[in-house]
Amino acid sequence: MQSSMVRRSSWTMKSLAFVMAASGLLSGCASTEPRTGARLSGTVIQFKPAHNLWVRSDWAKLFRSLRALGMTQIVVQWTVSGKAAYYPSRQFRSGPMPPLGALLDLAEESGMRVLIGLAHEPNYWAQIGEDPAQVERHFRDLRSRSLQAARELAPLVARRKTFEGWYLSEEIDDLNWRDPARRAVLTTHLRALTSELRTVDARARIAISGFANAGTDLASLEALWASLLGDAPELGIVLFQDGVGVGKLSLDELAPVLGAVKRAADGRARELRVVVEVFRQTAGAPIDQQHFAAEPASLNRIRRQMAIASGFSSSLLAFSVPDYMRAEGPPPMAQLFEQYRRECVSSDC
């Protein structure tokens, strides 16, 4: 995800609890108290070209890690990136061993639920910075690709119990859509795409993600999400990235931001799931995958993220187990996996 994809807080747990309680009063929701014992329920999985070379045993190793961590949910971030598909496709270019089928088989065997991402545009962040007319053209092309992918995928997922619904790759931030003309373009796109997806599969849920930057205006953030969810009624799930791993938000900024998004989601009877960034950025920028670098975060920091997010979220998702906390990964990754498994799965985190 873009904010994945640190600032250190000087807070004590006492001050954390105080601000969380204040956030609860502001939101009118008693559930915004931080909770000990919070756990990750699932993970985002971001397909990369190398996954086209994974055999089933590679995926089986990953799923052993997921089960050991108590994971029950998966979000596949995309199944099409540019013109390349990660499933057997007639519309797009597929790799030698498209990974989606193996992932769905193992998810079904493990009793996990999967949101399947559609088309991802690698130049998305540059494109949405153009004038509204150009943005509209870019969205039209992206919408066409997402619908092509959904129509191809629908027969493959129709009878799978593991399939929960679709995930849209158009991540929504708090800065690019302030202008009413630009926001209208986004709203029109989301309404058209989600309406068409409903005709592909009337039962599938539809999710979208977003994030916020430091210093964001909370009233404007809440209004943005309330407007988008109101104008695109088929959007049922908001996946909100906590931004801590890339320093977009610090721990003390997280609760107020999640409170604003929670109020918008609750006001439209939608579900909010928080994405917990389990890494620490070390180089590059999130939108520059060529130069972006990160390492597993400390479990102490992740615990604090989970404690805050659990007061707002129906479930917590990691970004991401495959990249930062796998049992068979390099030592820092394996260490985080084992520490989390021992302290947060086998006991009270």
Give the per-residue pLDDT at 230: 97
**pLDDT average, residue stretch 203-210:** 98
CA atoms of 258 and 303, how far apart (whole Å): 17
pLDDT of 120 over the 80 cut: yes
CA atoms of 151 and 137, how far apart (whole Å): 21
Give the per-residue pLDDT at 284: 80
Mean pLDDT (the chain) is 91
pLDDT-based confidence at residue 19 (cuts at 50, 70, 90):
very low
pLDDT of 11 over the 60 cut: no
Give the per-residue pLDDT at 347: 83
- Using one digit for the tens of pLDDT, what is the confidence trace for 270-303? 999 999 999 999 998 777 677 789 999 999 999 9
Give the per-residue pLDDT at 34: 46
Strands 84-85 and 80-81: antiparallel
Is the Cα dihedral 195, 201, 203, 207 positive or negative? negative
Give the per-residue pLDDT at 5: 44
pLDDT of 37 over the 80 cut: no
pLDDT of 205 over the 70 cut: yes
- Using one digit for the tens of pLDDT, what is the confidence trace for 215-245? 999 999 999 999 999 999 999 999 999 999 9
Write out the chain in H/E/C secondary structure: CCCCCCCCCCCCHHHHHHHHHHHHHHHCCHHHCCCCCCCCCEEEECCCHHHHHCCHHHHHHHHHHHHHCCCCEEEECCCEECCEECCCCCCCEECCCCCHHHHHHHHHHCCCEEEEECEECCCHHHHCCCCHHHHHHHHHHHHHHHHHHHHHHHHHHCCCCCEEEEEEEEEECCCCCCCHHHHHHHHHHHHHHHHHHHHHCCCCEEEEEECCCCCCCHHHHHHHHHHHHHHCCCCCEEEEECCCCCCCCCHHHHHHHHHHHHHHHHHCCCEEEEEEECEEEEECCCCCCCCCEEEECCHHHHHHHHHHHCCCCCCEEEECHHHHCCCCCCHHHHHHHHHHHHHHHCCCC
- Using one digit for the tens of pLDDT, what is the confidence trace for 21-33? 333 433 334 344 4
**Planar angle of CA 287, 47, 102, nearest 5 degrees:** 170
Residue 24 near residue 36, CB atoms below 8 Å:
no
**pLDDT average, residue stretch 109-138:** 97
Per cent of the chain over pLDDT 70 is: 90
- Using one digit for the tens of pLDDT, what is the confidence trace for 39-51? 999 999 999 999 9
Query: Which domains can be identified in the chain, with CATH numbers?
Result: 36-342 (3.20.20.80)
Query: How many CA atoms are closer than 13 Å to the CA of 219, on its beta-carbon side?
Result: 0
Give the per-residue pLDDT at 257: 98
